Amino acid sequence: MIAGLRATTEGGADLVQLLSPEGERVSHPAFDIEVTPEELRGLYRDMVLVRRADREGNALQRQGQLGIWVPLLGQEAAQIGAGRAMRPNDMAFPSYREHGVAWCKGIQPTDILGIFRGTDHGSWDPIATRFHLYTIVIGNQCLNAAGYAMGQRFEGKVGDDDGEATIVFFGDGATSQGDVHEGMVWSAVYDAPLVFYCQNNQWAISEPVERQTRVPLYERARGYGFPGIRVDGNDVLACLAVTRWAMDECRHGNGPVLIEAFTYRMDAHTTSDDPTRYRLSDELEAWKLKDPIERVRVHLVKQQWADQEFFDQVQAEADELAAHLREFCVNMPDPHPERIFSRVYAEESPVVRRERDEFLDYLSGFADAHAGGER
Amino acid sequence: MAAPTMEKPRTNEGAKVQTVTMAKALNMGLRAAMEADPKVLVLGEDVGKLGGVFRVTDGLQKDFGEQRVLDTPLAESGIIGTAIGLAIRGFRPVCEIQFDGFVFPGFDQIVSQLAKLHFRSQGKVKMPVVVRIPFGGGIGAVEHHSESPESYFAHTAGLKVVACSNPIDAYWMMQQAIASDDPVIFFEPKRRYWEKAQLDPGITPDPLFSSRVLRQGGSATVACYGPSVKTCLDAATAAEEDGIDLEVIDLRTLSPLDLGPVFDSVRRTGRLVLVSEAPSESSVTAEVATRVQQECFYSLEAPVLRVTGFDTPYPPSKLEEDFLPDLDRVLHAVDRSLAY
Ligand SMILES: Cc1ncc(C[n+]2csc(CCOP(=O)(O)OP(=O)(O)O)c2C)c(N)n1
Ligand SMILES: [Mg+2]
């Protein structure tokens, strides 16, 4: 037995849950919501599709098509619940694992591949999609999100049901960073319409969450002067309900809010990581029983809200998505070397221009000069 | 002291010579320092149980305990800031920054406190802190994992900055950096972690803050450090076929610079090519070029040339082979220098 290396599996009495791991509907005094069969089928479909895309990403890395992949396995409910709680005008600031939230924002899994294949640093338009680029430097995005949300308020877009809100995603490890703390201070002081969405997946690479905190993370919100809620991060309904409530609070001018989605990182930190070096497999087994997708499937069946044909159809769709992802990935063109120099500044720099010209001139001197690629 | 070449390390009778990777050599250096002085601590993210993402601290927590090898909370400012406090208390902390691009949350503590405390206290407070930073590109990583931020630190008075290039130096320089009473920013070329060499723990190493001629030659001088050293040695081997005889100098210390060997070399060859992965503007190579033209003005047969990363953010990894100085670009610069 490795000393100390066991993460928590139980969320405690304050955990908001609407769908038990066994697929039973649980009521909650504050956060209950009604979902139609169609909505729940939609959430199920979302989760199955993002999981399938995630597994394909993993496989593509193993086959050398991607440099690295950051898996979301186990966090589908936390991400889809939050993602589907957003309205089109709401802004999201992700970390680097939020492929499920990206999906809800209309960003295709294919759009994300470039980051991990090494062809770009993020291909989508953060302004148009209202989904910021992935942020890898832990915690940075929390301050950026606070500033964006302050801007929403300064522009008078907060205060009624048509208001806007922002949500920022970060991990349990990230809560130790100064930027996250400062983001909470700023949002509190400026009443920013910002939902802090912490996916506590129990691990920051090899460090269990006890390395970051003495108190449950959601309790920290109190110290900043806003509400903190711990939600069952493997329960898509609860994540949807709590996030929808929190976003509404923010758009009405009652932000910020901290949500701790209590979940588990079922896979390695990234494809470069080997979790057998630091965590025990029995905890993985315990969390398997709390699978976010399975409980929805069970509930759909129990309620007779979906039949086998539906599940088969979602599966077929997932396989199609994966096949498309693979096809797209292996055919991605390499970027042209000119890209190194492109758009470093809004107003072109003479230094960069000179270096570009010299380098392209140098390259053209080779017999096997660079064949092309995306400029 | 005579400079040893990498090919022929000086040997002492009876010492156990073994083949090690750079990661292992660093690990052995850390271990030796921890054995020698109970005040030496290791702190960082994932350095304990995991042994670091590059396994440089592998096994240290197991052998020295959780009070000497700390898996810290995830905050670089916290790592550096508490290391400073521990140093005030008499410890000798060795901080690991997981990747070059993640040092910046700790930059404030490094520049504002670590670098200045000795001066501010007029020597009453010493800062024997080592900040290890795996740096440079070439491993196909995502953003922030391939940067060369050494010039920021070399630009900061009060810090010493070194870069190892091979397992033998890695082993000795790590121990010397820990033994230094000044703060040392210790750059490790991450794409060379798996390069191997014969390590002889019995030799007497060169002083930490010294550069070294690795290969003698009369055609032109090539000065470099960190990951570029291997590139330049390979370039020198390739140039030999064309009858070009390159002198290759590993700068090793970026602050303070030890340019005596470079001046001596340039006075003989009249030509200097500087190689570094870092962007060129306001950089270590810019400083070396300035000093060389001041000291060797009448010996220069050609302008000092540089082969560096570009003055752009580090590109997506599919483009890093173009971004990074490679053998061809080094030889191209050598040709231009010779043709001048
Ligand atoms: C400033 C900074 N330091 C270190 C890292 C290296 N790193 C990447 S992910 C990670 C752990 C993050 O854990 P957590 O916040 O819990 O998010 P998770 O990966 O579990 O989703 C670390 C240390 C980084 N990306 N940025
Ligand atoms: Mg985590």
CATH number of the domain enclosing B217: 3.40.50.920
pLDDT at position A371 is 57
Final residue in a domain of this structure, among B140, B171, B199: B199
| Count, residues in chain B | 340
Name residues 6-65 of chain A within 8 A of B (Cβ): none
Same domain, B47 and B110: yes
Same domain, B194 and B223: no
pLDDT at position A7 is 62
> Which residue segments constitute the domains of chain A, with CATH numbers given?
37-330 (3.40.50.970), 334-375 (no CATH)
Residue B297 lies in a domain: yes
**Residue B9 in this model has a pLDDT that exceeds 50:** no
CA distance linking residue B308 with residue B280, whole number of Å: 6
Give backbone dihedrals phi and psi of B274, rounded to 5 degrees, phi first: -105, 135
Same domain, B234 and B310: yes
CATH number of the domain enclosing B40: 3.40.50.970
- Looking up tokens 């190892």 gives B164
Same domain, B221 and B180: no
Same domain, B250 and B182: no
Same domain, B28 and B156: yes
Final residue in a domain of this structure, among B199, B232, B265: B199
Same domain, B34 and B175: yes
Cβ-contact B222, B257 below 8 angstroms: no
Taking an 8 Å cut-off on Cβ atoms, the answer to whether B315 and A340 are in contact is: yes
Ligand 1 pocket, A172 CB below 6 A? yes
Residue B283 lies in a domain: yes
Ligand 2 ion local residues (Cβ < 5 A):
A 171-172, 201, 204
* Average pLDDT along chain B: 96
Which residues of B sit within 8 Å Cβ distance of A? 45-46, 48-51, 53, 71-75, 77-78, 101-102, 104-105, 140-144, 281, 310-313, 315-320, 322-323, 328-329, 332
Residue B86 lies in a domain: yes
Cβ-based burial of B304 (10 A; exposed 0-12, middle 13-18, buried ≥19): buried
Q: Return the ligand number nearest the Cα of A205.
A: 1
Across the interface, of B71, B312, B328, the residue whose CB is closest to A352 is: B312
**Residue B179 in this model has a pLDDT that exceeds 90:** yes
Final residue in a domain of this structure, among B199, B223, B258: B199
Cβ-contact B95, B83 below 8 angstroms: yes
Q: Which domain holds residue B304?
A: 212-339
Across the interface, of B48, B140, B323, the residue whose CB is closest to A67 is: B140
pLDDT tens profile B44-93: 999 999 999 999 999 999 999 999 999 999 999 999 999 999 999 999 99
pLDDT in tens, chain A (375 residues): 344 455 667 888 899 999 999 999 999 999 999 999 999 999 999 999 999 999 999 999 999 999 999 999 999 999 999 999 999 999 999 999 999 999 999 999 999 999 999 999 999 999 999 999 999 999 999 999 999 999 999 999 999 999 999 999 999 999 999 999 999 999 999 999 999 999 999 999 999 999 999 999 999 999 999 999 999 999 999 999 999 999 999 999 999 999 999 999 999 999 999 999 999 989 999 999 999 999 999 999 999 999 999 999 999 999 999 999 999 999 999 999 999 999 999 999 999 999 999 999 999 998 766 556 777
Residue B10 lies in a domain: no
Residue B134 lies in a domain: yes
Same domain, B56 and B94: yes
Same domain, B265 and B335: yes
How close is the Cα of A19 to the center of ligand 2, in Å?
Answer: 23
Name residues 156-185 of chain A within 8 A of B (Cβ): 173-174, 176-179
DSSP letter string over B139-194?
S---TTSS---HHHHHTSTT-EEEE--SHHHHHHHHHHHHH-SS-EEEEEEGGGTT
Taking an 8 Å cut-off on Cβ atoms, the answer to whether B74 and A119 are in contact is: no
- Looking up tokens 């920051």 gives A204
Q: Is A269 a catalytic residue?
A: yes
Same domain, B235 and B163: no
Residue of A205, A212, A271 to mutate, ligand 1, most atoms within 8 A of C-beta:
A205
CA distance linking residue A101 with residue A311, whole number of Å: 22
Same domain, B265 and B183: no
pTM: 0.96
Cβ-based burial of A77 (10 A; exposed 0-12, middle 13-18, buried ≥19): buried
Residue B9 lies in a domain: no
pLDDT tens profile B293-332: 999 999 999 999 999 999 999 999 999 999 999 999 999 9
Residue B207 lies in a domain: no
Cβ-contact A323, A316 below 8 angstroms: no
Question: CA-nearest residue of chain A to B332?
Answer: A362
Residue of B49, B54, B76, B98 to mutate, ligand 1, most atoms within 8 A of C-beta:
B98
Q: Which atom of ligand 1 approaches the CA of A265 most closely?
A: 20
Residues of B in contact with A205 (CB under 8 A): 45-46, 50, 53
Same domain, B191 and B295: no
Residue B120 lies in a domain: yes
- Per the structure, how many domains does chain B have? 2
pLDDT at position A13 is 87
